[in-house]
A and B are shown apart, each in its own frame.
Chain A
Amino acid sequence: NAGVTQTPKFQVLKTGQSMTLQCAQDMNHNSMYWYRQDPGMGLRLIYYSASEGTTDKGEVPNGYNVSRLNKREFSLRLESAAPSQTSVYFCASSEVTGQGQADTQYFGPGTRLTVL
């Protein structure tokens, strides 16, 4: 039982390059999330998927796209990377058990992305 896995662990991009961050969970959770974490700013939600087949914008969606490939996998794509997207990216999943409520979130180990 691996929990939430993310690939790659580290990545360096040049401005304008594109890449996809992969996330998978094996806990059969309905909801999945992408966050970025910057020093002094805490975790900020980029996109989330409340259930398979749906995605919604979070607090900071600009410059990103997501795909909920199936119940297990949720990918984050940077189409044209910018230095402002240098950050640590975390994927998380949760089992929503109450109406309109987010339960405990399980986080992956993170992807450290540098855009030059």
Chain B
Amino acid sequence: SQKIEQNSEALNIQEGKTATLTCNYTNYSPAYLQWYRQDPGRGPVFLLLIRENEKEKRKERLKVTFDTTLKQSLFHITASQPADSATYLCALVGDYKLSFGAGTTVTVRA
């Protein structure tokens, strides 16, 4: 069966450090993968999209990698700030639909 797995435990990091989140998937062949941010009590908000032929994508302090051989995406938040504290979801795309991972909660300590 298809499965998407993200870091099962919450991530607590010191301000200024880099947070690295993983998204592993099985039995998918996604053309691309997306990352979303979700704050408590709110809907997810799109952050980044990376295509299968792209190894890396950057947006400001965010960096995403996509390894279709390993079936894994890594999401990095560099120079983290307390405002980056949120839950981050990866999503795989196919047939007009997204399938989401359960998310990883990141807390950045000042």
Cβ contacts under 8 Å, B31 to chain A: 101
Partner of B96 from the list A42, A50, A109, A110 (CB cut-off 8 Å) is: A50
Given A31-B96, A45-B99, A50-B96; A104-B49 close (CB under 8 Å): yes
B93 at the A/B interface (Cβ < 8 Å)? yes
Assess whether B102 is in contact with A109, with CB atoms less than 8 Å apart.
no
Q: How many contacts between A and B, using CB within 8 angstroms?
A: 59
Assess whether B102 is in contact with A58, with CB atoms less than 8 Å apart.
no
Report the contact-size class of chain A (Cβ under 8 Å from the partner).
20 to 34
Cβ contacts under 8 Å, A53 to chain B: none
Chain B residue at smallest Cβ distance from A41: B102
A28 CB to closest chain B CB (Å) equals: 17
Cβ contacts under 8 Å, A105 to chain B: 44, 46, 98
Assess whether B43 is in contact with A42, with CB atoms less than 8 Å apart.
no
Given A96-B96, A100-B94, A101-B31; A42-B46 close (CB under 8 Å): no
Chain A residue at smallest Cβ distance from B90: A42
Give chain A's interface residues, CB within 8 Å of chain B: 4, 31, 33, 35, 40-45, 48, 50, 58-59, 90, 92, 96, 100-102, 104-110
Give chain B's interface residues, CB within 8 Å of chain A: 4, 31-32, 34, 41-46, 49, 89, 93-103
